[in-house]
Amino acid sequence: MIFLKRQTLSNISRKIVSGIIVVYQWTLSPDHGVLSLYTTGVCRFSPTCSEYTKKMVKQHGVIKGLKKGLKQIKDCH
Amino acid sequence: MDILLTIFNNLIFQPIVNLLVIFIDILPGANLGVAIILVTVLIRLALFPLSYKALKSQKELSTLQPKIKEIQKKHKKDKEAQSRAIMEFYKEHKINPFSGCVPFLIQLPIILGMYRVFLTELEPGNIEGLYSFVSQPEYINTMFLSINLAEQSLILAILAGLAQFVLSKTTFSQKKKIGKTKSGSQPDFQKIMGKQMTYILPFITIFIARSFPAGLVLYWFTTTVFSFGQQYSINKKFED
């Protein structure tokens, strides 16, 4: 059994989640990836919701960061 | 994962297959090409209100852009206070709030569904999952303007690439007009890849489309032309 320090575990999970967000940005996002060539900008925030969420996850951890990101997405719907 | 697949099949894939077969049944000569174009246009028209709302509020936003920049400057240090101030500004100016990324993103599974449908080979008399009121076609004519839609077609692939190029070109000049190309937070993809992506992607499209059945490529071409028309009509309407 391998024991990981809490700190390392948190770091790994932050990296995984922000990695998923990057994959989203390059594929489905209307503002960042391939599709951005065909839109005139969809997200009204700057930084965009995905960019903001990514930053918050890196800064505050997965749960707090995702909460902050979701709040911003909710603000515009 | 299984549940997601079932939902996708029942809610998106099957309805599109049935719609396509209905058109094949109705159309004289059971022409697959015309049916594909009609299904594509019909579905895109149904999705039109979603894109229309988004495009409309983008237009409104672009006219208010200078004021938003001012607010951003004012709250430069506190990002949260900045977003709050911007939201209040939107409320003040009564910009329709239902126009963020969700209307855009919910279109994607439907577009993916069309892609899946036009990729499947329809065998006359042997099509699965038809509703009780849809009759099994005895014959499907896959010839369209002397292109066999069941086989690959280089001409159609080039047309699809060309349409895509025109679409991204007009989008780019549109962005320039509303000043979105320079702002720091906008498309990082374009920042990295630069303008040349507008030229490279159509070629990638041609290479990929060339190896797919022409029926799928015909869908790709139609949907791109539709996007172009949609953008053009909205631009016209909101130009003062």
Cβ atoms of A53 and A21 closer than 8 Å: yes
Element (H, E) at B48: helix B32-74
Q: Which of A60, A71, A65, A74 is nearest to A20 (CA)?
A: A65
Q: Which of B40, B34, B88 is nearest to B64 (CA)?
A: B88
What chain A residue is nearest to B59 in terms of C-alpha separation? Answer: A40
- Beta carbons of A28 and B188 less than 8 Å apart: no
Q: Is the pLDDT of residue B98 over 60?
A: no
Task: Give the count of beta carbons closer than 10 Å to the beta carbon of residue B193.
Answer: 15
d(C-alpha B10, C-alpha B5), whole Å: 9
Give the pLDDT confidence score for residue B184 in this predicted structure: 47
- Mean pLDDT estimate for chain B: 77
d(C-alpha B185, C-alpha B182), whole Å: 9
Cβ atoms of B33 and B219 closer than 8 Å: no
Residues B16-36 pLDDT 10s: 888 888 888 887 877 888 888
DSSP state, B121?
A: P
The rounded Cα B188 to chain-centroid distance in angstroms is: 21
Q: Which of B162, B166, B129, B144 is nearest to B216 (CA)?
A: B144
Minimum-distance CB partner of B87 among A26, A33, A75: A75
What average pLDDT score do residues B118-147 get? 76
Give the pLDDT confidence score for residue A1 in this predicted structure: 55
Q: Is the pLDDT of residue B86 over 70?
A: yes
- Beta carbons of B58 and A28 less than 8 Å apart: no
Query: Which residue do the tokens 């990514």 mark?
Result: A54
* Assigned token pair, A63: 């749960």
What average pLDDT score do residues A41-57 get? 82
Give the pLDDT confidence score for residue B127 in this predicted structure: 73
d(C-alpha B141, C-alpha B150), whole Å: 10
What average pLDDT score do residues B207-214 get? 85
Give the pLDDT confidence score for residue A2 in this predicted structure: 65
Q: Is the pLDDT of residue B183 over 50?
A: no
Q: Is the pLDDT of residue B129 over 80?
A: no
ipTM > 0.85 for the complex: no
Residues B112, B199, B52: CA angle, nearest 5 degrees = 45
Minimum-distance CB partner of A37 among B86, B87, B168: B168
Residue B107 backbone dihedrals phi, psi, to 5 degrees: -75, -25
Residues of B in contact with A30 (CB under 8 A): 101, 104-105
Give the pLDDT confidence score for residue B182 in this predicted structure: 45
